């Protein structure tokens, strides 16, 4: 069980990348963590990092686009630690291609993981949050929401998550639940490394190129996003809801 004052957080897609950094940060700020990813076994390194630093965490295997699996994972977390107070909708995939080459499967996969996944996870946690009149939901949007060549599917879901966020903020605000989104720019993870390989450059070359068109002249790190989510899920941001916070080194402005 979590201690009486301890918050319980669920981070999806937390085996690696941004999700792993967010899970570690929320744990170091005192939360008990549900570390969720497609395969329970892949969550081990994030769980170990948290528990070896003295925190509490359990691994949860679920596909966020599967209603039964995500509901079972949320219920298991609530049973283990007593509640679910924080949800970070982070799980994500890319299936980039120009429109004429993008398959129906590319479209459906991206819509299912990002949009349906955020819907199902938010629906599963809200019952615990409404009951306790407390909750924080943060979803991962992207600068790609503003349009990005080769990402018709991804930019559509990242823009969709912004509308989803504003609507949940209206519906859940009266129950003490804050709902916000973070829209990262280029963050160095396996996802951006895969993009580099797909376009035929090294990850370092792609990062250098991204940094050169970013006003602060660097790419982001997973911790840049974790810092922002730590604030948005803390009680210091309780008057902030329905917002999309761009964490992109100024990239949106260029």
- Per rule CB under 6 A, count of chain residues that contact ligand NAP: 28
Q: List the x/- string, 3-22, binding to ligand NAP by CB under 6 A.
A: ---------xx-xxxxx---
Residues 57-96, mask of contacts with ligand NAP (x by CB under 6 A): ------xxx------------------------xxxx---
Of 148 and 234, nearer to ligand NAP (C-beta) is 148
Contact 137/168 with Cβ under 8 angstroms?
A: yes
Asked whether position 214 contacts ligand NAP by CB under 6 A, the answer is no
CA proximity to 180, closest of 164, 191, 192, 194:
164
Q: Which stretch binds ligand NAP (CB under 6 A): 95-103, 186-194, 196-204, 228-236?
A: 186-194
Strands in 135-140's sheet, in edge-to-edge order, are: 57-61, 32-37, 8-12, 86-89, 135-140, 177-184, 244-247
Q: Are 63 and 36 in contact (CB under 8 A)?
A: no
Beta bridge partners, 247, equal: 184
173-181, 183-191, 198-206, 232-240 -> range binding ligand NAP (CB under 6 A): 183-191
Quick check: is 134 catalytic? Answer: no
Shortest gap between Cβ of 8 and ligand NAP (angstroms)? 19
Q: In sequence order, which ranges of the chain are alpha helices (DSSP H)?
A: 17-28, 44-52, 67-81, 104-110, 117-132, 152-172, 190-199, 203-212, 222-232
**Which range binds ligand NAP by CB under 6 A, 3-11, 45-53, 190-198, 227-235?**
190-198
Task: Report the catalytic residues.
Answer: 154
């Amino acid at each position: 069980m979590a201690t009486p004052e301890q918050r319980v957080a669920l981070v999806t897609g937390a085996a690696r990348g941004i999700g792993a950094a967010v899970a570690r940060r929320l744990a170091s700020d005192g939360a008990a963590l549900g570390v969720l990813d497609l395969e329970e076994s892949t969550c081990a390194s994030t769980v170990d990092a948290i528990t070896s630093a003295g925190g509490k965490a359990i691994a949860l295997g679920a596909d966020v686009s599967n209603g039964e699996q995500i509901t079972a994972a949320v219920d298991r977390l609530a049973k283990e630690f007593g509640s679910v107070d924080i949800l970070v909708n982070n799980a994500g995939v890319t299936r980039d291609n120009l429109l004429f080459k993008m398959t129906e499967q590319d479209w459906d996969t991206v819509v299912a993981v990002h949009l349906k996944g955020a819907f199902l996870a938010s629906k599963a946690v809200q019952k615990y949050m409404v009951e306790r009149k407390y909750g924080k939901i943060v979803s991962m949007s992207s600068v790609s929401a503003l349009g990005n060549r080769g990402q018709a599917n991804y930019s559509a879901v990242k823009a969709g998550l912004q509308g989803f966020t504003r609507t949940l903020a209206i519906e859940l605000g009266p129950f003490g639940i804050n709902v916000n989104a973070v829209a990262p720019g280029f963050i160095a993870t396996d996802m951006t490394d895969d993009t580099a390989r797909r376009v035929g450059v090294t990850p370092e070359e792609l990062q250098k190129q991204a940094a050169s068109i970013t006003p602060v002249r660097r790419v982001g790190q997973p911790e840049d996003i974790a810092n922002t989510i730590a604030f948005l899920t803390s009680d210091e941001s309780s008057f902030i809801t329905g917002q999309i916070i761009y964490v992109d080194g100024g990239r949106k402005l260029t």
